[in-house]
Amino acid sequence: MAAVQLSGIYKRYGDTQVVHGIDLHIDDGEFVVLVGPSGCGKSTLMRMVAGLEEISGGELTIGGTRANGLPPQQRNISMVFQSYALYPHLSVYDNIAFGPRIRKEAATRFKPRIEAAAKMLNLSGYLDRLPRALSGGQRQRVAMGRAVVREPSLFLFDEPLSNLDAKLRVQMRTEIKALHQRLKNTVIYVTHDQIEAMTMADRIVVMNAGRIEQIGRPLELYDRPANLFVASFLGSPSMNFAAGVMVSAANGVALQLGDGVQIPLHGVNGVSGATAKPGAKVTLGVRPEHIEASNEGIPMDVEVIEPTGAETHLYGKIGGASWCVTMRQRASIEPGQRVTVRFPEQHMHLFDTESGRRLG
């Protein structure tokens, strides 16, 4: 087991800097997910931890030992990739035994470990098969088995589920989480999928353009996103936003949206001092599931209705912007119909429009 410390980690390719000074401490046994849009530098960061990319600046320690420049095989890590990278001509058993054999371990030592891993990963009946005779999920499990028998102090997963179909992805997500709960190893897991991040992580690191936007427990980030980027990245359907200007209103202040609709902000967290000054540019954010239907309130002309079975998404315009409202109960609403909604105060997020930073 190992804690991992990244201090001021940089990566440059020639003149181009792609990772801009990352500081991150990962506790021993923690499951940390690096998430962000494609090209934000997650894989590069993980590959620097693995020793597959040179670190341009900063310090990396694994298990308290400085690891900059240490060859990958001396870092005591296992990595699972998106492409399972199995040897097609070797059986499941031989694929899993490949590493121990290369390291010239005695079969009496590694055989029990392989059998235990196969049992844990539901592969016991498949040890003689070739990879081509396995399903995608089984192949991914073999790749994990290979990682597990190394008994590494640190597991690195780089988008391991991206090649699987939607149903299998959900199943493997649960399996990887269960595996971690059993082995209690340190995990760094890279994905662009915010649902994977939310469901699997002890802590999520949201990255954007080579920088960390926010670090925290999944629900902390969901409930209190630090900025517009994190607010829009986590959650599906995404948080709704409408930009407006603060105005004086009868009962304190209100946010006047693009189409003139005024949202009273009396009692809303984040409304104070400079923010509340008339003229301040503020963006309101509300998650679709937090919007309530009400007899009076803000009008929304419904344009599109999407029933998913468990819930119904209504799409329409609020404050001149396109918004989504999620309803748990079924309702007979038709496109073209006008509904009125309200936003509970505790679920209104306010952001400084220019900096994108959360207010309050």
- Mark 44-83 with x for binding to ligand ADP (rule: CB under 6 A) and - for no binding: x---------------------------------------
* CB of 36 vs ligand ADP, minimal distance in Å: 6
- Residue 43 binding ligand ADP, by CB under 6 A: yes
What's the CA gap between 229 and 216, in Å, rounded? 15
Applying CB under 6 A, the span of 33-41, 234-242, 273-281, 351-359 interacting with ligand ADP comes to 33-41
Q: Could you list the beta-strand ranges (E) of the chain.
A: 4-13, 16-26, 31-35, 57-62, 65-66, 77-80, 154-158, 186-191, 203-208, 211-216, 240-249, 252-257, 262-264, 281-286, 292-307, 312-318, 321-327, 338-342, 349-352
- Residue 41 binding ligand ADP, by CB under 6 A: yes
- Mark 336-355 with x for binding to ligand ADP (rule: CB under 6 A) and - for no binding: --------------------
Nearer to ligand ADP, 40 or 50 (CB): 40
What's the CA gap between 196 and 262, in Å, rounded? 37
How many chain residues touch ligand ADP (CB under 6 A)?
Answer: 10
Selected binder of ligand ADP within 26, 42, 92, 173 (CB under 6 A): 42
- Residue 18 binding ligand ADP, by CB under 6 A: yes
Nearer to ligand ADP, 198 or 291 (CB): 198
What's the CA gap between 22 and 58, in Å, rounded? 8
Nearer to ligand ADP, 36 or 288 (CB): 36
> Interface residues for ligand ADP in 228-267 (CB under 6 A)?
none
Applying CB under 6 A, the span of 38-46, 274-282, 300-308, 343-351 interacting with ligand ADP comes to 38-46
3-state secondary structure 127-151: CCCCHHHCCHHHHHHHHHHHHHHCC
What's the CA gap between 83 and 188, in Å, rounded? 17
With contact defined as beta carbons under 8 Å apart, do 221 and 233 qualify?
A: no
- Residue 39 binding ligand ADP, by CB under 6 A: yes
- Residue 148 binding ligand ADP, by CB under 6 A: no
Nearer to ligand ADP, 35 or 268 (CB): 35
- Residue 15 binding ligand ADP, by CB under 6 A: no
With contact defined as beta carbons under 8 Å apart, do 301 and 344 qualify?
A: no
With contact defined as beta carbons under 8 Å apart, do 186 and 26 qualify?
A: yes
- Residue 169 binding ligand ADP, by CB under 6 A: no
* CB of 321 vs ligand ADP, minimal distance in Å: 28
Nearer to ligand ADP, 190 or 286 (CB): 190
Closest CA to 62 of 30, 11, 32, 26: 26
DSSP 259-305: TS-EEE-TT-TT--HHHHSTT-EEEEEE-GGG-EEEEEEEEEEEEEE
Nearer to ligand ADP, 18 or 170 (CB): 18
With contact defined as beta carbons under 8 Å apart, do 217 and 32 qualify?
A: no
**Residues making contact with ligand ADP (CB under 6 A):** 13, 18, 36, 38-44
